[in-house]
Amino acid sequence: MEFNVNWTKEDNDQLRKFIKEKKSEEFIRNYFGNDKLFYHPGKKYHISGKSGSIPTFKNINDFSGFINEIKYDELKTDFKIDFTKNPIFENQFNYIYTFQTNSGNRYVVDFIYLKDNIGPFKERDIYNISFTLEKNRNLSNYVDYEKISYLNENHELMKRLIFIFKDFNNKFGNGCVYLLGETEDIRKINWYRNLISDSFSNVKETESVSSFTNGMKAFYFEVN
C-alpha cells in the first residue's frame, strides 16, 4: 500500500485496528472524518460527494447552451476577494471571488489550493476551480447545487469570469496549474476549457489522473 502525507502508515494501522475490533463504518468515519478517508489509497469508507476539502463542479447554467466557436472578451468587473486558510496544506490559502451581474445575481468563484501526490504535476502549485451562484455555494448535496438555474445571462457571465480569471492569475496563480474535476459531464469540462482558452493566449491541456477526482479523469491546464 502506498502512503501519503494525508494518509500515513499510522492512520492505516489505526484503521486496521478498528476493523479488527469490528468497529462500525459510522464509528470509523466519525473518527477519521470523511475528508481524511478520501486520501486512503483505496478510498475505503470514503463517501463520494460528501467531502468538504475541495468543492466539486457547481453548475449554474445549462452548459449545452455554449457554442465552442464563440470567442469572448473580458468585461471589467467589480469583485470582492476573501482569503481562507487551506484546511489540508499548511501555509497555503484558498481564494474566493464574489461578484454580481447586471441583473443583480451574485456569483462565487473558488480557487482551491492543492498539491497532488499522483499525476503529472506533483511538484507544482495547483488550483481547483469551482463556480456557482453565491446562494448555492454551501450546499452539501451535489445533486442540489448542480441543478440548472435557467438564468439567461451566459454571455455576460463568461466575459466577467475571464476578467476575474486574469486577475487571479496575475495576483496569485502565476506559474501554477489549474485543475478541472470531478465530473462525468463533458459539457462542464468544455465550458471551463473555453473559459481558460479565452482568458489566455497560450494554454497547454493535459488529461491524466489526480488525488482529488475520485478516480475520474483530471484535466490540467498550464498557462504559459
Instruction: Give yes or no: residues 74 and 157 share one domain.
Output: yes
Instruction: Give yes or no: residues 78 and 170 share one domain.
Output: yes
In a domain, 56, yes or no: no
Instruction: Give yes or no: residues 99 and 14 share one domain.
Output: no
* Model confidence, pTM: 0.67
- Is the CA virtual torsion 182, 140, 171, 211 positive or negative? negative
In a domain, 184, yes or no: yes
3-state secondary structure the chain: CCCECCECHHHHHHHHHHHHCCCCHHHHHHHHCHHHHCCCCCCCCCCCCCCCCCCCCCCCCCHHHCCCCCCCCCCCCCCEEEEEECCCCCCCEEEEEEEECCCCCEEEEEEEEECCCCCCCCCCCEEEEEEEEHHHCCCCCHHHHCCCCCCCCHHHHHHHHHHHHHHHHHHHHCCCEEEECCCCCHHHHHHHHHHHHHHCCCEEEEEECCCCCCCCCEEEEEEC
- Is the CA virtual torsion 50, 56, 59, 65 positive or negative? negative
In a domain, 170, yes or no: yes
Instruction: Give yes or no: residues 30 and 67 share one domain.
Output: no
The confidence score (pLDDT) of residue 188 equals: 73
Tell me, what CATH number does 166's domain have? 3.40.630
Residue 56 near residue 183, CB atoms below 8 Å: yes
Count of Cβ atoms closer than 10 Å to residue 185 Cβ: 13
Location of C-alpha cell 476549457: 193
In a domain, 55, yes or no: no
Instruction: Give yes or no: residues 9 and 106 share one domain.
Output: no
Instruction: Give yes or no: residues 129 and 192 share one domain.
Output: yes
In a domain, 57, yes or no: no
Instruction: Give yes or no: residues 42 and 149 share one domain.
Output: no
In a domain, 11, yes or no: yes
The confidence score (pLDDT) of residue 63 equals: 47
Residue 182 preceded by cis peptide, ω within 30: yes
Q: Could you list the residue range(s) of the whole structural domain that residue 205 is in?
A: 63-223
The confidence score (pLDDT) of residue 3 equals: 72
Instruction: Give yes or no: residues 92 and 116 share one domain.
Output: yes
The confidence score (pLDDT) of residue 126 equals: 92
Instruction: Give yes or no: residues 113 and 186 share one domain.
Output: yes
Residue 198 near residue 66, CB atoms below 8 Å: no
The confidence score (pLDDT) of residue 165 equals: 92
Query: Could you state, in chain order, the average pLDDT of each consecutive group of 10 residues for the chain (224 residues)?
Result: 73 88 82 74 66 48 48 86 89 92 88 87 88 73 48 78 92 88 68 85 87 78 88
Closest CA to 197 of 161, 144, 150: 161
Instruction: Give yes or no: residues 95 and 182 share one domain.
Output: yes
Instruction: Give yes or no: residues 8 and 67 share one domain.
Output: no
In a domain, 52, yes or no: no
The confidence score (pLDDT) of residue 194 equals: 84
Number of domains in the chain: 2
Residue 66 near residue 191, CB atoms below 8 Å: yes
Instruction: Give yes or no: residues 81 and 145 share one domain.
Output: yes
